[in-house]
Amino acid sequence: MGKKTPPRADTLPPKTKKKATKKKRKRKPAEPKRASGDGWELVLQDAWDGLREYPCDHVICDPPFSERTHAGQKHGRRTESEGTTDGPGLLSEHGLGYPHLTPEQVASLCPFLHSASTGWVVVMTDHVLFPIWEREFRELGRYVFAPVPVVIPGMNVRLAGDGPSNWTIWLVVTRPKGLKDGTKPGAYLRPAEDPRRSKLVKGAKPLSLMDQLVRDYSQPGDTICDPFAGSGTTGVAALRSGREFVGFEINPEHFKQAEERLTAAVDPLFPRHPITGAQESLL
C-alpha cells in the first residue's frame, strides 16, 4: 500500500480551543420564611413540603374545596355594587381568590396528613370531594366517620332562584384505629360572619367554630397543625385553648396576616391558658 499524502495545512479547519467546563454546584433550596411566638410557629411553605418535617398530635384544616364549589362562589352571591340585602354580607363575583383542589391533589395530600398526625385528622370539604377524602384515608388504614355537617345559615345565596342555597360544609373526621377519645358532636351550627366587616381571607371560617373543633378534637398541650393556615384562625383557636400550633401558608399576604393575628393572640404579660366552661349548644 502506498503512503497516504498528509493534507495541506491550508485545507485543515482552524483549531478551536476547548472551553473548560465547570461543574455546576447544586444549590441548596432556600430556607422558607418562618415566624414564631409563644406556643406557635408559622412557615411560608407549601403544605406538601412542610408536613414532612413537622409531626403533630392532630391536623385540623380548611383546604380549598372542589372546582364546582369555587366556580359557584363567582356568582352565588351579589356584591355590594349590585345592591344591599338583609343578612350577612356578600362575596365578590371574582370568587374565593385561590385555586381549588382536584381529586388527584386530595389523593396525594392524604398520605402526608396521615403520617404527620398521630391522632385526629379533621378536614373541611364539600360534598363533591368528601368521597375522595374518605376513600384515600380508608386505604391508608384510618377509620373514617360519616360526614359531620357544619351548617352556617346565610353562608351562600343561590341567586338563580332555581333551588336550595348551600349552607353546609362537611367535616371529614378520621382517626387511627384503636384511638379512644370520647363521643364527639354529630353536627355544628354557627352564624355566618359578615365579609364586609371582616378583613380575613375569603372563605375563612368563624373563630367560634374553630374554637369548638379544637376543643373537641384535642387536649390542652397538644400540637395542632393546619397545613392551609390562611389568616390563622385555627392557630388563634389553638392558642386560646391552651394548645400549641404549627401552620403552613404559601400566600405571603395571608402569611403576614396570620402572623399578626397569632402574635396578638398571645399576651406577653400573661401565660397562655385554656378556655374553660361547659360545651356550647350545637343546634
C-alpha cell at 75: 356568582
d(CA 81, CA 83): 5
Core vs surface per residue 187-196: b (16+ CB within 10 A) or e: ebbbebbebe
In a domain, 229, yes or no: yes
Left, alpha or beta for 83 (phi > 0: left; psi -120 to 50: alpha)? Answer: left
pLDDT of residue 12 exceeding 60? no
In a domain, 121, yes or no: yes
What is the rounded (10 degree) CA torsion for 205, 229, 187, 75? 50
Q: pLDDT higher for 79 or 156?
A: 156
The residue segments making up the domain with residue 80 are 34-265
pLDDT digits (tens, 9 = 90+) for 20-65: 555 666 666 678 899 999 999 999 998 877 787 788 999 999 999 9
Please tell me whether residue 281 adopts helix, strand or coil conformation: coil
pLDDT at 13: 58
Q: pLDDT higher for 67 or 87?
A: 67
In a domain, 261, yes or no: yes
Q: Which amino acid is at 88?
A: P
Q: Which of 44-48, 93-97, 227-231 has the lowest mean pLDDT?
A: 93-97
In a domain, 276, yes or no: no
Q: Which of 131-135, 152-156, 215-219, 233-237 has the lowest mean pLDDT?
A: 152-156
pLDDT of residue 195 exceeding 90? no
In a domain, 85, yes or no: yes
Q: Which of 50-64, 108-122, 171-185, 216-230 has the lowest mean pLDDT?
A: 50-64
In a domain, 224, yes or no: yes
Pairing of strands 244-249, 223-226: parallel
Q: pLDDT higher for 2 or 46?
A: 46
Instruction: Compute the residue count for the chain.
Output: 283
The pLDDT-based confidence of 99 (bands split at 50, 70, 90) is confident
d(CA 62, CA 233): 10
In a domain, 22, yes or no: no
Percentage of the residues of the chain whose pLDDT score is greater than 70: 70
pLDDT at 202: 56
| Phi, psi dihedrals of residue 41, rounded to the nearest 5° | -145, 140
For residues 43 and 50, is the Cβ–Cβ distance under 8 A?
Answer: yes
For residues 209 and 150, is the Cβ–Cβ distance under 8 A?
Answer: yes
Number of domains in the chain: 1
In a domain, 11, yes or no: no
pLDDT at 130: 98
- The CATH number of residue 175's host domain is 3.40.50.150
**What single string gives the DSSP state of each residue in 181-242?**
-----S-EE-PPP-TTT--SPTTPPPHHHHHHHHHHT--TTPEEEETT-TTSHHHHHHHHTT
pLDDT at 23: 60
